[in-house]
Chain A
Amino acid sequence: DTGVSQDPRHKITKRGQNVTFRCDPISEHNRLYWYRQTLGQGPEFLTYFQNEAQLEKSRLLSDRFSAERPKGSFSTLEIQRTEQGDSAMYLCASSFGSGGAVDTQYFGPGTRLTVL
C-alpha cells in the first residue's frame, strides 16, 4: 500500500490555459473524491466517484471543470480556460465502502495550482 498519489505536486500556468491533474488512489479503494482547498480554509468537496461512475458533483464544479475515472482506477481533473480564482490546492482522497457506509478517507499530498 503506497497511499494516494497525485501528480503534479505543483503547477503554475497562465490565465486561459488548460491544466490536468492526476490522482492514483489506494488500489483496492472503490471511492474517490476531489476537493479544493484555499489558504486558511478547510477542503471543499468538488466531486465523487464510485468505481468509474461520477455520482456527485458540487455546484462549485463549473462547466470549465471535468473529472474522469476510467476503469475505476486513477482519476483526472481538468480545468479549462483557467482563471486566477482557480488558484488553490486540489486534493484527492480515496476510501473503500459499500452501501451507505462512510469510511475513513485517505488523502493524497495535493496539487498546488497557481494561475498567473
Chain B
Amino acid sequence: KQEVTQIPAALSVPEGENLVLNCSFTDSAIYNLQWFRQDPGKGLTSLLLIQSSQREQTSGRLNASLDKSSGRSTLYIAASQPGDSATYLCAAAYNFNKFYFGSGTKLNVKP
C-alpha cells in the first residue's frame, strides 16, 4: 500500500528564513511527484512537478528535489515571506490515475 508522509505537520518561521519541507513515500516506483499549495478553504495550486527521471525542479524561490531510491522529496523555500503562509502538500503519482497525497505541512511565516 502506497503511503505518503509529510514532516513536519506544522512549521512557524520568521520572515526571510530559508526552509525545507519533507515528503516521503513508501513505494519508489513513482511516475512523478508534485508539490501543491493550499490556502484555507480553497483548492490546490500546483507549484512544481518532478518527473521520475529528474532530480529537481525550480520555480522562482522554490526548489523541489526527488530521490527515488530513498523515497524522499524536499521542497526548499528561499527567503520566506508572509504570503507563503499556507498548507503545502506533496502527491506521488504511480500511474495517470493513481495519486497519493500526504497530509500536508502547515506553514506560517511571521512578519
Write the residues of chain A forming the contact surface with B, with a CB cutoff of 8 angstroms.
4, 6, 31, 33, 40-45, 48, 50, 55-56, 91, 93, 97, 100-110, 112
Closest residue to A91 on the B side, CB-wise? Answer: B43
- Given the complex, which residues of A lie within 8 Å of B101, measured CB to CB? 42-44
A103–B43 CA distance with the chains assembled, in angstroms:
18
B43–A31 touching, CB < 8 Å: no
Most chain B C-beta atoms within 10 Å of own C-beta, residue among A43, A104, A108, A110? A43
Instruction: Given A31-B96, A55-B97, verify A41-B103 contact (CB < 8 Å).
Output: yes
A58–B45 CA distance with the chains assembled, in angstroms:
23
- Given the complex, which residues of B lie within 8 Å of A106, measured CB to CB? 46
Is B55 on the interface with A (CB-CB < 8 A)?
A: no
A45–B103 CA distance with the chains assembled, in angstroms:
13
- Given the complex, which residues of A lie within 8 Å of B36, measured CB to CB? 107
A93–B96 CA distance with the chains assembled, in angstroms:
13
Interface residues of B in 34-51 (CB under 8 A from A): 34, 36, 41-46, 49
Instruction: Given A45-B98, A102-B96, verify A107-B44 contact (CB < 8 Å).
Output: yes
From residue A21, how far is it (CB to closest CB) to chain B in Å? 13
- Given the complex, which residues of B lie within 8 Å of A6, measured CB to CB? 43
- Given the complex, which residues of B lie within 8 Å of A108, measured CB to CB? 43
Would you list 24 pairs from A and B whose C-beta atoms are within 8 A, ordered by A residue? A4-B43, A31-B97, A33-B97, A41-B103, A41-B104, A42-B4, A42-B101, A43-B101, A45-B98, A45-B100, A56-B97, A56-B98, A102-B31, A102-B93, A104-B34, A105-B34, A105-B46, A106-B46, A107-B43, A107-B46, A108-B43, A109-B42, A110-B41, A110-B42
A43–B32 touching, CB < 8 Å: no
